[in-house]
Amino acid sequence: MDWNLKSGVIVIGSLLWQDYLNEKGDDIRRSWREEHLDLDNKIPIKVPIRYGRLSRSGIATMVYSNRMKNKLGFAYLIPLKHKINNTEALIEETQALSVAEGMKGDFTRAWGVLTYLMNEERINPDFKKKIIRVFRQRKNAELDINQYKVGREKSCITKSLKLNIDWVKPIRSKDLKKLEQFDFLMATATKPKNRLLTFKEIANGIESDLGREYFINNIKNGIVTQEDFIIAKQMEKPANNKGSSKKP
């Protein structure tokens, strides 16, 4: 029996707008989007996100965070071009996403994990069990879900690699019925810094990001957090401003 799952990918960053993965011109991400995603029908959604991961160069990137549960940001749900009909199709789609994310086909890496979210109102219980089994079998035994949270917030992933957030909400009310028709979603959860970044720290990274322009390209493509305005205001303040180091 075919699963016939209407599925998609939650995108909260450069997976949407950056064409290359390792270096300009490799077009790994663009090829993945063209082959696997129905970009013409992407849906703007609300999800709990914030800038919480810090790169080696000091640039802050996006993470899921239950700290933002009541301050949802804007991102996208992009449908897959083809429905997932069996375990083999599920693995094919997850591995394709993994490659686009630089995870080389794996479900877990030191910096992040592939996760899933299911529409509990729709999905067949038998298919649900099979999906959970696929993810559990491919997680790293050393995975510590407590590294996917800061302080007292709930981890953004579970031990079975489920994305530990509520079902996504539409930005536009007219998209509610579209979201209700999805059975299964994939996403990539990255490991946050083990402390909250200050707004000034995030702003300094934006000012030094002259190549990738991660923050700016997110905004250009409609990916925003509720803290973006505060971060932008910090860019107007001198570095020695005593009030510039407030945390989210």
Question: Cβ-count burial of 187 within 10 angstroms (0-12 exposed, 13-18 middle, 19+ buried)?
Answer: buried
* Whether the predicted pLDDT of 241 surpasses 90: no
- What integer is the mean pLDDT of 51-59? 93
Strands 60-64 and 49-54, by their bridges, are antiparallel
| The predicted structure's pLDDT at residue 243 | 46
pTM: 0.94
For the segment 138-158, what is each residue's pLDDT rounded down to a tens digit?
Answer: 998 889 999 999 999 999 999
Residue 13, classed as helix, strand or coil, is coil
- CA proximity to 49, closest of 16, 74, 80, 31: 74
